[in-house]
C-alpha cells in the first residue's frame, strides 16, 4: 500500500508570538492518525507571503499531502490564497458563486458587505472550492508540485466541519487509507506512573499472544486528574507489518479493567468518545434520574460541564452557586453554626450543601463542591487545593476530601472532574464500555 505522508501548515503571527496555543496542529494530527495518514512534519509560519510560499513548496517537494489552516480571512494580513497561487504558479480568479453566497450571507445577518469581504471570492486558478456553510471564508484544494494541498480556515469550528465534510471524502477518493485500531481506557484517581506499573504485566502477557499485539503502541495521556491509557494497532518498527485489530485490543479489556481497579470509568475506541460529563448525563438519562449542583470553589464549573452535553436538560435541573456564606445559608439552608464552627471548607458544610440543593431544587442527586482554589485563602490545616465534595441521594450522602496540587485553574478544573467521578461512583455506574466501531 502506498504511504501517504503529510505536512501540516498552520499560518498566523499569533501562533508564533505566543498569543495563542496552536490546537489545530494536534487536532489535524489526530485526524490524520485516525485516517492512517503519516504526518512527518508540522510547520508554522507568519502572515508573510514569501514564508508561506516557501513552506508550501517544501511540502510540494517532500510529501503527498499538505493540510493548511489559517490566513483565509478578509483582512490584509490574510495571505494564504495568494501564496498558494504563487507556490503553484497560477493566477487568482474571482468566483461568481462565492460572491453570491457572500452577499446572501451578509444580507441574512443584516451586515454590510465591504470590498475586503469580496477578496474571499478569489481563489487560485484550478482550485477546487471547499464549501464553508458556517462562515464566510471558503477553503480550497490545489496541487503544488507533487502534493495535494487543502487549505482551511483557522476558526476552529469552521476548520473541523470543513475537514470532516469536504476534505476527508476527497482524501478517501485520492488515497488508499487504512485507519489504525485503538482502545482508550479513561480513569480518574490514579497517577500515570502508578497506572503504568499495574498494567505492565498485563501488556507483557498480551504481547506474547500475537504479532499484532506485540507491535501495539502504548501511550499514556495525563489530563489531571484524569489519566488515559491508549493502545494502538501499528505496524511496529520490526517491519513485519502485523497490526493489532480492534477485536484483539478489546480482548484486553477484562484484564486491564481488573488491573486499573475502580478508577477506570470508561473503555472504548475513544475517537470522540464520551467525556466524563457526557457519560454521566447518559447514565442518568438512561435511569430517569435528575441532578442539581451546589458549588462554591468551582463557581458554576460543574453545572457548566454538565450542561456542555447536548440533551443535559433531561437530567439537569439547575443549581446554586454559593460563593458567599450568606448564599450557602439563604439558598441552600447550610446551618450558620456549621459555617462558624467548621468553616466553609468542611465536611458538614459540603454535606449540607449537597443535601440542601437536592431538597430545595427537588432532584434525585445533589453534587456539592467547596474548597480553597487559591492563590489566597490557604492555611496550615487547609492549604490551597483542599477541596470537599459531597454527593447526596435518597440512599444517603457520600463525602470525600481531596488534596489537589496546582494553580487556581488547575484546582478548579480538577475539582469539577472529581465531583463528576464521585457522582459516578455514588451511583455505582460501573465501567462504561463503548463497543461501537471507531
Q: Among residue numbers 340 through 379, which ones bind a second copy (CB under 8 A)?
A: 360-362, 373-376
Residue 409 or residue 435: which is nearer to a second copy going by CB? 409
170 CB contacts (<8 Å, ≥6 apart)?
A: 128, 141, 150
Type and span of the H or E element at 220 = strand 217-223
Residue 126 or residue 300: which is nearer to a second copy going by CB? 300
Q: Is 39 in the site for a second copy (CB under 8 A)?
A: yes
Chosen residue from 215, 312, 346, 415 binding a second copy by CB under 8 A: 312
Residue 60 or residue 303: which is nearer to a second copy going by CB? 303
CA-wise closest residue to 90 among 43, 56, 64, 48: 56
419: its cell numbers: 465531583
Q: Which stretch binds a second copy (CB under 8 A): 194-202, 241-249, 261-269, 394-402?
A: 194-202
Contact 185, 256 (CB under 8 A): yes
Q: What one-character DSSP code corresponds to residue 268?
A: E
Q: Is 134 in the site for a second copy (CB under 8 A)?
A: yes
**Footprint on residues 64-123 left by a second copy (CB under 8 A):** 73-77, 109, 111-112, 114, 116-117
Residues 223-262: x/- map of binding to a second copy (CB under 8 A)?
A: -x-----x--------------------------------
What's the Cα-to-Cα distance from 375 to each of 264, 298, 349, 385, 408, rounded to whole Å?
Answer: 31, 14, 22, 9, 6
Q: How far is the CB of 351 from a second copy (least distance, A)?
A: 18
SS3 for 276? helix
Q: How far is the CB of 178 from a second copy (least distance, A)?
A: 16
Q: How far is the CB of 433 from a second copy (least distance, A)?
A: 20
Q: Compute how many residues bind a second copy; rule: CB under 8 A.
A: 107
Q: Is 13 in the site for a second copy (CB under 8 A)?
A: yes
Contact 253, 278 (CB under 8 A): no
What's the Cα-to-Cα distance from 68 to each of 72, 87, 118, 141, rounded to whole Å?
Answer: 10, 13, 21, 10
Integer Cα distance of 352 and 63 in angstroms: 62
Chosen residue from 104, 324, 336, 395 binding a second copy by CB under 8 A: 324
Gyration radius of the chain over CA positions: 26
Integer Cα distance of 103 and 96 in angstroms: 11
Residue 126 or residue 299: which is nearer to a second copy going by CB? 299
CA-wise closest residue to 284 among 311, 320, 318, 262: 311
Chosen residue from 146, 165, 403, 430 binding a second copy by CB under 8 A: 403
Residue 202 or residue 430: which is nearer to a second copy going by CB? 202
The DSSP secondary structure of 399-416, one letter per residue, reads: EEEEE--S-HHHHHHHHH
Q: How far is the CB of 125 from a second copy (least distance, A)?
A: 25
**Footprint on residues 199-218 left by a second copy (CB under 8 A):** 217-218
Q: How far is the CB of 300 from a second copy (least distance, A)?
A: 3
Tell me phi and psi for residue 397, to 5 degrees: -120, 130
CA-wise closest residue to 298 among 426, 413, 173, 380: 413
Q: Is 8 in the site for a second copy (CB under 8 A)?
A: yes
Q: How far is the CB of 197 from a second copy (least distance, A)?
A: 5
Q: How far is the CB of 119 from a second copy (least distance, A)?
A: 10
Chosen residue from 4, 11, 35, 45 binding a second copy by CB under 8 A: 45
**Footprint on residues 139-168 left by a second copy (CB under 8 A):** 155, 157
Amino acid at each position: 500500500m502506498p504511504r501517504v505522508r503529510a505536512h501540516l501548515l498552520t499560518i498566523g503571527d499569533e501562533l508564533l508570538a505566543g498569543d495563542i496555543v496552536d490546537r489545530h496542529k494536534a487536532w489535524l494530527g489526530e485526524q490524520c492518525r485516525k485516517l492512517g495518514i503519516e504526518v512527518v512534519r508540522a510547520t508554522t509560519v507568519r502572515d508573510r507571503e514569501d514564508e508561506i510560499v516557501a513552506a508550501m513548496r517544501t511540502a510540494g517537494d517532500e510529501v503527498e499531502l499538505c493540510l493548511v489552516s489559517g490566513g483565509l480571512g478578509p483582512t490584509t494580513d490574510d495571505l494564504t490564497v495568494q501564496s498558494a497561487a504563487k507556490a503553484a504558479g497560477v493566477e487568482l480568479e474571482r468566483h461568481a458563486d462565492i460572491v453570491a453566497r457572500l452577499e446572501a450571507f451578509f444580507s441574512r445577518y443584516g451586515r454590510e458587505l465591504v470590498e475586503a469581504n469580496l477578496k474571499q471570492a478569489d481563489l487560485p486558478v484550478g482550485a477546487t472550492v471547499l464549501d464553508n456553510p458556517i462562515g464566510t471564508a471558503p477553503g480550497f484544494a490545489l496541487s503544488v508540485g507533487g502534493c495535494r494541498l487543502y487549505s482551511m480556515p483557522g476558526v476552529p469550528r469552521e476548520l473541523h466541519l470543513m475537514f470532516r465534510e469536504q476534505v476527508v471524502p476527497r482524501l478517501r477518493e485520492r488515497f488508499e487509507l487504512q485507519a489504525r485500531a485503538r482502545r482508550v481506557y479513561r480513569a480518574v484517581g490514579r497517577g500515570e506512573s502508578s497506572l503504568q506499573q499495574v498494567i505492565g504485566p498485563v501488556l507483557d502477557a498480551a504481547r506474547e499472544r500475537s504479532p499484532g499485539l506485540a507491535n501495539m503502541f502504548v501511550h499514556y495521556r495525563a489530563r489531571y486528574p484524569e489519566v488515559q491509557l491508549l493502545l494502538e494497532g501499528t505496524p511496529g518498527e520490526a517491519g513485519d507489518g502485523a497490526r493489532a485489530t480492534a477485536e484483539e485490543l478489546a480482548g484486553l479489556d477484562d484484564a486491564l479493567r481488573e488491573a486499573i481497579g475502580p478508577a477506570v470509568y470508561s473503555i472504548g475506541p475513544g475517537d470522540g468518545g464520551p467525556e466524563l460529563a457526557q457519560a454521566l448525563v447518559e447514565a442518568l438519562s438512561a435511569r430517569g434520574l435528575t441532578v442539581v449542583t451546589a458549588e462554591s470553589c468551582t463557581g458554576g464549573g460543574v453545572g457548566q460541564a454538565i450542561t456542555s452535553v447536548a440533551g443535559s436538560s433531561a437530567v439537569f435541573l439547575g443549581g446554586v452557586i454559593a460563593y458567599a456564606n450568606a448564599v450557602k445559608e439563604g439558598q441552600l439552608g447550610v446551618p450558620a453554626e456549621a459555617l462558624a464552627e467548621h468553616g466553609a471548607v468542611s465536611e458538614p458544610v459540603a454535606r449540607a450543601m449537597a443535601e440542601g440543593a437536592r431538597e430545595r431544587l427537588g432532584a434525585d442527586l445533589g453534587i456539592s463542591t467547596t474548597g480553597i482554589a487559591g492563590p489566597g485563602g490557604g492555611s496550615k490545616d487547609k492549604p490551597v487545593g483542599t477541596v470537599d465534595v459531597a454527593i447526596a441521594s435518597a440512599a444517603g450522602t457520600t463525602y470525600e476530601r481531596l488534596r489537589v496540587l496546582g494553580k487556581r485553574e488547575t484546582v478548579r478544573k480538577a475539582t469539577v472532574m472529581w465531583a463528576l467521578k464521585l457522582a459516578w461512583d455514588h451511583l455505582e455506574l460501573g465501567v462504561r464500555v463503548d463497543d461501537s466501531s471507531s
